[in-house]
Amino acid sequence: MTTPATPQAPGVKPSLGLTGATVNAMALIAPGAFLWITFQLQAAATAPSGASVASDIWAGIGFALILAFLSAISYAELARLYPEAGFGSCYYFAEKAFLDRRTPGHARWARASKLVTGWAAHLYYWVYPGCMVAFMATLGGYIYTQVTGHTLSPAVLTIFAIAFAGLTGYIASRGVTGSTMTALVINIVQLVTLVAFSAFAIVYRRTDPGANNHWVFSNAWDVVRPHSVMGVLIQSTIAILILVGFESCTALAAETKDARRTIPRAVLLSLVIQGLFAYLLEYFAAGYALSDQLVTADASKAVVTGMTAAATSSAPIGDMAILVGNRLLGGIGFGLMISIAVTVMLALLGTTLSCLNTAARVSYAMSKDREMPELLGLLHDRHATPARAIWVLVVVSCVIAAIGVQSVVGLTGITLASNLGTFALYGLTCLWTMIAFGGAARDAHFVKHRIVPFLGLVANVVMLGAILYLYVIGNADSKKEAFICFAITGAWALVSVLYFALASRQRVAVAPRAVGS
């Protein structure tokens, strides 16, 4: 039986406790940022018929949250079983699940399983930072427009995105300790801010006399109830973007003290705090306060209101903050909007930073295993970080962001590509959980190691099917978004297959010489 390459880097010292591991995962989830940056995409979502499904935003998040918890439990169980995974995370889990099985024939599937998992992980982790960089540039453009009344061109937004990507790359390359302190401060600031905004939004509606606003949702129940199965599915394909990240701390096992206990707890705790508490609260408050007082102009310069305005505005939460602040805080709505926008920018910094750290470490593990170029497996001499992988990822993020700043269609397309990788990765991880705990020697729990991962696998497969089906048969914009998604996915699949073939040929060529030496 072969043994997988140890993904832990030499010179790396465990320094993270439960708080450090949790806040690094929480930084990637970043609810304060995602309410701002994805509400427009969710408000603009349509069914294949072209009908809006914006009324199912909250229900879609609820369904995606169930899927996320099923996947999170699987990640936590694998992290507990394989605390030595180091930087490898899901990539290491995939191979070890087969190598540890005593049934003859399982070992031959080890390499294939880890390569498929590695491909899915990179589709998720390498596209996701580009999405965040594009969101940051869009936010910067919105603030500039609010302050000056002018609009930045896509070229200027791209330059802004490049500068932001460079900043996050620099911080990430300096080491995980600095990243953790940054993530801790950002998480505290954004959680306080989103609770305050949610409270203001609820009070805004409750204190309205009724004559000024026509509410999008008739009451609190109307905000949270599912309106259609199709709507919930479509919204959940977008909502998974705002929930992913709980698993990122599994790539920090080499830098975590008592990884067997700490990492599984951090995976679940981060999702509970930010998914179960923060998202459900803030999305309820935003929907509850949405009315025809939210006004903007669409592409044809026609005035639109309510949910249509939210789908048209580049920052509907910013527009709502202005309304709420002017009503409740004596006309300081613009100041409230700027304050929230600053916290969103900080949260985006933490999110991008967390994903860079995770992606670079998985790439490092694959490189040390000779499944990716050797360049990605080099550590910084002083900081012991996979700095080369980080800077390669920064370049990729800039390219992806340049696509995302062009239009909402482009941004949604790259978001779908990242989400496709997410569903594939989470589904595979659930499958590896069932296999890892399938041996007779394992202390398997029927619910945690059979029922939960099976349901997680089914749910992720359903979501993959939803992306493939709903966006292919949709309207013209949906088909463009699907084309961008599949182009990115196909290009990465082609690169992966070509590199796999090249690496396999080199291994075959080197093996005879090694035997004769």
β-pair partners for 303? 297
Q: What residue segments make up the domains of the chain, in order of their start? A: 19-504
CA 277 to centroid of chain Cα atoms: 17
Q: Which helix (H) or strand (E) holds 296?
A: strand 295-297
| Among 181, 134, 192, 150, residue whose Cα is nearest residue 339 | 192
Tell me which residue has tokens 């000024």: 212
Per-residue pLDDT of the chain (517 residues; tens, 9 = 90+): 455 554 555 556 777 888 888 887 776 666 667 788 788 889 988 888 788 999 999 999 999 899 899 999 999 999 999 988 877 788 888 888 888 876 666 777 878 888 888 888 888 888 888 888 988 898 888 888 888 888 888 899 999 999 999 998 888 877 655 566 777 777 788 788 888 899 999 999 888 755 466 899 999 999 999 999 989 988 988 888 788 878 888 877 877 888 899 999 999 998 998 888 888 999 999 999 999 888 887 667 788 888 999 988 878 998 999 999 998 888 888 998 988 888 888 888 878 887 787 788 778 777 777 777 777 766 666 656 677 888 888 998 898 888 888 877 887 888 888 888 888 999 999 999 999 888 645 677 888 888 999 999 998 998 888 777 777 777 777 788 888 888 888 888 888 788 777 777 766 665 554 433 3
How many beta carbons lie within 10 A of that of residue 84, not counting itself?
Answer: 16
Residues 73 and 448: beta-carbon distance below 8 Å? yes
For 19-504, CATH gives 1.20.1740.10
Distance between CA atoms of residues 384 and 176, nearest Å: 10
List strand residue ranges (DSSP E) for 111-264, in order.
Answer: none
Assigned token pair, 348: 């985006």
Contacts of residue 93, Cβ cutoff 8 Å, sequence gap at least 6: 78, 82, 85, 117, 429, 432, 436
CA 334 to centroid of chain Cα atoms: 29
Assigned token pair, 506: 């080199």
Give a three-class secondary structure readout of 335-371.
Answer: HHHHHHHHHHHHHHHHHHHHHHHHHHHHHHHHHHCCC
Tell me which residue has tokens 């960089």: 133
Residues 403 and 433: beta-carbon distance below 8 Å? no
Residues 428 and 122: beta-carbon distance below 8 Å? no
Radius of gyration of the chain (CA): 23
